[in-house]
């Protein structure tokens, strides 16, 4: 009975989401639609990072790097051939990519797969490290990707970046991918592999003694996380239309980390809400950057003021609700068991 109710609630939320997106597309101005798009992308990013950091307990800070891989994959694969010629005026693009023009879906999947493959290659040596060491190693890796992309002129157009990527991303794409991510990660965590990830997070020594191959499970979780990071990066490229290596700095990773921490490590529902709040919050606080006239006093606009205010809100939120926005009595969520 409870199982059935749960399914009904899920279907209801799904229907409301679709209706909401439909209405948003119809009645909201492009700026607001863009914020909705970004929210969807950040849901995917937040969940993929939570899988690695919150659920498997690996402190990885390489997300921006994997996003960059995904974004460039989509950018290069979907860009029209004539556009490619215009972009690569310093040095022509490598011949095997000069004449490809893929649809958005195959490009997104390719972005995820390449990113996941890279995740496995990087993860194999690096995931033997733990805690801060892993964080430093993955951080370094993300920087390496950025520097490599800045210098591979004939592949990524270097520091000039890519312009004129077709704007395929709309709310259906961004939220469609977000829903697929939510579905994938919830079901993953419900099964025995997901439980094994949690075991690895809780106690590595005990997990190994119970026959869980640490390395295999860590790499698996990392690869899934990287896959969705890559797809989200691809969506970002399709949304912005312009990408360059400097977009994928460490601050981007920290934005996602912030969502994960605010939403609660290991929590799916919290991450979704935090992603939407953080993304929308960043935008709604934008008025703080502009000059304000309070009648009796005139405040000159201070660029970056909203970040200050936003950070203060965050600090307060984290102090008041250190276990994430959604705190359940027993810390349980999406891990129900049927009997």
By CB under 8 A, name the binding residues for another protein: 184, 187-188, 190-196, 198-199, 202-203, 205-214, 220, 330-332, 335, 337-339
Q: Smallest distance, Å, CB 301 to another protein?
A: 46
What is the largest distance, in Å, between two alpha-carbon atoms of the chain?
Answer: 70
Q: Identify which of residues 141 and 228 has a Cβ nearer to another protein in the complex.
A: 228
- What is the Cα–Cα distance from 239 to 244, expressed in whole angstroms? 14
Whole-number minimum distance, CB 266 to another protein, in Å?
8
Q: Which is nearer to another protein, 286 or 328 (CB)?
A: 328
Contact at 8 Å (CB) between 263 and 272? yes
Query: How many Å apart are CA 234 and CA 275, to the nearest integer?
Result: 18
Contact 59, 131 (CB under 8 A): yes
Contact criterion met (CB below 8 Å) for 310 and 303: no
Select from 331, 289, 332 the least CA-distant residue to 310: 289
User: Residue 133 or residue 215: which is nearer to another protein going by CB?
Assistant: 215
Closer Cβ to another protein, 15 or 206, answer by number:
206
What is the closest distance, in whole angstroms, from the C-beta atom of residue 236 to another protein in the complex? 25
Shortest distance, position 176 Cβ to another protein, whole Å = 17
Beta bridge partners of 162: 243
Nearer to another protein, 84 or 218 (CB): 218
Q: How far apart are CA 168 and CA 77, in angstroms?
A: 12
Residue 189 or 262 with smaller CB distance to another protein: 189
Return the SS3 of 292: strand
Nearer to another protein, 204 or 289 (CB): 204
CA distance 30 to 304: 24
Structure letter (DSSP) for residue 162: B
Q: Minimum distance between the CB of residue 178 and another protein, rounded to whole angstroms?
A: 17
Give min distance, CB of 28 to another protein, in A.
Answer: 34
Q: DSSP letters along 218-284, please?
A: HHHHHHHHHHHHHHHHHHHHHHHS-B-GGGGSHHHHHHHHHHHHHH-TT-HHHHHHHHHHHHHHHHH
CB of 214 to another protein, least distance (A): 7
């Amino acid at each position: 009975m409870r199982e059935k109710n749960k399914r009904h609630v899920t279907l209801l939320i799904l229907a409301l989401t679709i209706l909401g997106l439909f209405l948003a597309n119809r009645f909201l101005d492009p700026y607001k639609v863009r914020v909705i798009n970004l929210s969807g992308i950040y849901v995917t990013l937040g969940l993929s990072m939570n899988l690695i950091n919150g659920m498997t307990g690996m402190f990885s800070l390489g997300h921006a790097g994997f996003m960059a891989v995904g974004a460039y994959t989509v950018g290069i694969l979907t860009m029209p051939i004539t556009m490619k010629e215009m972009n690569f005026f310093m040095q022509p693009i490598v011949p095997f990519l000069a004449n490809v023009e893929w649809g958005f879906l195959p490009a997104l999947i390719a972005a995820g797969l390449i990113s996941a493959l890279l995740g496995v290659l990087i993860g194999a040596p690096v995931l033997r490290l733990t805690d801060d060491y892993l964080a430093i190693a993955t951080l370094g890796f993300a920087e390496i990707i950025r520097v490599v992309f800045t210098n591979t002129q004939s592949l990524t157009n270097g520091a000039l970046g890519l312009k004129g990527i077709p704007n395929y991303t709309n709310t259906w794409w961004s939220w469609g991918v977000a829903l697929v991510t939510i579905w994938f990660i919830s079901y993953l965590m419900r099964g025995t592999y997901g439980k094994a990830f949690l075991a690895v997070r809780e106690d590595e020594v005990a997990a190994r003694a119970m026959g869980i191959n640490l390395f295999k499970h860590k790499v698996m979780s990392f690869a899934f996380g990287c896959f969705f990071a890559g797809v989200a990066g691809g969506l970002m490229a399709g949304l912005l239309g312009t990408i360059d290596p400097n977009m994928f700095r460490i601050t981007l990773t920290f934005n996602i980390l912030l969502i994960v921490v605010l939403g609660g490590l290991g929590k799916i529902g919290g991450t979704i809400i935090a992603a939407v709040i953080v993304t929308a919050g960043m935008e709604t606080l934008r008025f703080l950057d502009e000059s304000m006239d309070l009648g009796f006093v005139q405040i000159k606009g201070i660029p970056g003021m909203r970040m200050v205010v936003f950070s203060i809100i965050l600090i307060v939120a984290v102090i008041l609700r250190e276990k994430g926005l959604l705190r359940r009595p027993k810390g349980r969520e999406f891990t129900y068991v049927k009997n």
